[in-house]
Each structure stands twice: as C-alpha cells, then as structure tokens.
Amino acid sequence: FAMSSDKEQIKAENSNITLMEFLLLGFSNTPSLQRTLFGIFLLIYLTILICNSIIILITKIDPDLHTPMYYFLGNFSFLEICYVTVTIPRMLMDLWTQKGHISFLACAIQMGFFFMLGGTECFLLTVMAYDRYVAICNPLHYSLVMNHKFCIQLVAASWITAVPAVIGQTWQIFSLPFCASHVINHFFCDVPPILQLACGDTFVNETAVLVAAVVFIMVPMLLIVVSYGKIISSILKLSSARGRSKAFSTCSSHLTVVVLFYGTATISYLQPKPNQSEEKGKLISLFYTIFIPTLNPIIYTLRNKDITKALRKLLAKLLP
C-alpha cells in the first residue's frame, strides 16, 4: 500500500508539472548552431515584416492599386505578418536563451492563434481565387459583383469563420491529461507533438484534427482547383496571345503561393501519422511557418507588374 501511495503521489506531481509548463526542444540537437540559426531566423523575420509592410503601404497609397485584387493582397500581407509573429519571436527567444520552457496557457494560446491564422489563410486564398475567377470569366460584371462592401464581407468571413472551430479544437486538446513526458520535440506548440504527450486514447482528438484539416485545407483547395479550372478554360478561349499572357500573369503569383502553402499543409496534416517522423514533421513545419511566408511577398512583387510599378513610384518619391 505504501508503494502504491508513493507511485500515485509521483504521478500526481508529474501531472502538476506538465500542467504548469512544457519544454520545447526546438533545435537543441544542434547546440553549436544555436546562434547561427538565431541570426538566420531573425533576418528572415525582419524580411517578412519589411516586405509585407511595403506591400500593405503601396496598396494603400497608390490609387492604381485600389482594386479588389490588391485589397485582398494587402489583407493577405497583414495576415502573413500575424501568422509568422505567432511562432518566430518565441523561437528566436528560445534560440537566444537556449531554454524552451513554455507555460501550459502560452502553449494553448500559441496553438490557437496559429491554427486560427492558418485557417484564415486557407479561406483568404480561396477568396483571392474567386476574385480572379470573376475578373477573368465574368469581366463585364466584375465591378458589380466585387464591390467594396462585398470585398469587406469576404475578408471578415475569412477571419471569423475559423475562430469557433479553433477554440473548440484547442480546448479539446488541452483538456487531455498530460501525465507522461512534458518535452515537445518541436519549435512551437503544434498538434501532432502535443497529442503524443497525452495519456490515454487520443483517437477522438486525432479524428477531430483530421476532420478540421479536411474542412480548412481540402475544401478550400478543391474550390480553388475548380476556380482555376474555369479560369484556364476561359483564358485558352481568348483569341489574343497578348490577352492570354496578361490573364495568366495576373493569376500566376497567386497560383504559385497556393501550390506552396497547400502542398506543405497537406503533407503535414493529412498524411497518415506513422508515415511521418518527428524530425521530418519539424522540417515540413519550417517550410510552411517560415520559408513560404518569406517567399510569398517576393513572388507577388517580382511576378506582378502593377506592384513593381507602384514600388518604383514609391522609391522615386523617397529617393529622387
């Protein structure tokens, strides 16, 4: 009875510890590279902030960019800033201090905001695809359909729709008992490594995560595929080669971003659990949390003549 009592006491103590905080391993398996990684990720974070801020600025001040397409792009750039701010500053702090302690509440908040912003990005990319669909397939009704009020409603819906599901999902995951190890082999509080720490059967939680991934990833992706199917069909019917080239150029940037984002998100959250190792999952997460947000403003800037033109005008004013 004494041994049983001691075991119960130790288990209770461990349970209390894990409820208080987790330990993010991050990149602790490469201690000699901690400072180098800090410098690289800090540079990447500043690049994302600066590039997206410039896009937001020029879409606001340049009258030629006061169209639905660039209104959505400005919102997308703001979303990207919020999206990377959820994970990178915390990761930078852990790399600098070489400590990965994160409280239970902070971990839940990080996960909640990460998935809320990720879901918003899925919906906003779908809205941007719909905008291109209307512009190319129904150009005569474009200004009537994509009026300013409707654009605001689409953006608001993109931001709000994911909130109830994410709150419920996060609450469900963090209501689980965490009585085993409190060490998370990741650089942020992601679902797969958190569920690995939970005691008991997590089948219901894993199923809920899969359903959410289907709703937030697969459904928007299918809508985008249908939109671009109709867009490409309409473009191929154009008699002018110049018209086809211009139509393709307005869609190519968005399509590139969609392929990069949905490709990595699908691999990460819709792949069967046994097929993905912890290190592989961490590497894939680096792509959709850091590297793709770094590429997005570059893709939109270099592959868009209107953005390039507006940027030159801004630079001409600042550096005559």
pLDDT tens digits, residue range 129-183?
999 999 999 999 999 999 999 999 999 999 999 999 999 999 999 988 887 678 9
Summarize the confidence of residues 14-32 as an average pLDDT.
Answer: 73
Q: Which of 35-49, 71-85, 223-237, 249-263 has the lowest mean pLDDT?
A: 249-263
Question: Count of domains in the chain?
Answer: 1
Give helix 34-61 / helix 88-97 axis angle, nearest 10°: 150
Q: How many residues does the chain have?
A: 320
pLDDT tens per residue, range 264-310: 888 777 765 545 567 777 888 888 899 999 999 988 887 788 888 88
Show the tokens assigned to 172. 């469900």
CB 111 within 8 A of CB 190: yes
Give DSSP secondary structure letters for 50-114.
HHHHHHHHHHHH-GGG-SHHHHHHHHHHHHHHHHHHTTHHHHHHHHHHT--EEEHHHHHHHHHHH
pTM for this predicted structure: 0.88
Give DSSP secondary structure letters for 140-180.
GGHHHHT-HHHHHHHHHHHHHHHHHHHHHHHHHHHTS---S
Summarize the confidence of residues 238-249 as an average pLDDT.
Answer: 79
Domain encompassing residue 271:
2-318
Other CB atoms closer than 10 Å to residue 124's CB: what's the count?
21
Summarize the confidence of residues 70-99 as an average pLDDT.
Answer: 95
Q: What is the per-residue burial (b if ≥16 Cβ within 10 Å, else e) of 146-159?
A: beeeebeebbeebb
Q: Exposed/middle/buried for 25, CB within 10 Å: 0-12, 13-18, 19+?
A: middle
Give the rounded percent of residues in the chain with a pLDDT score beyond 70.
Answer: 91
Does the pLDDT at position 185 exceed 70?
yes
Mean of the per-residue pLDDT values for the chain?
86
Does the pLDDT at position 123 exceed 70?
yes
CATH classification of the domain holding 243:
1.20.1070.10
Give the rounded percent of residues in the chain with a pLDDT score beyond 90.
Answer: 50
Most confident of 37-41, 255-259, 263-267, 280-284: 37-41
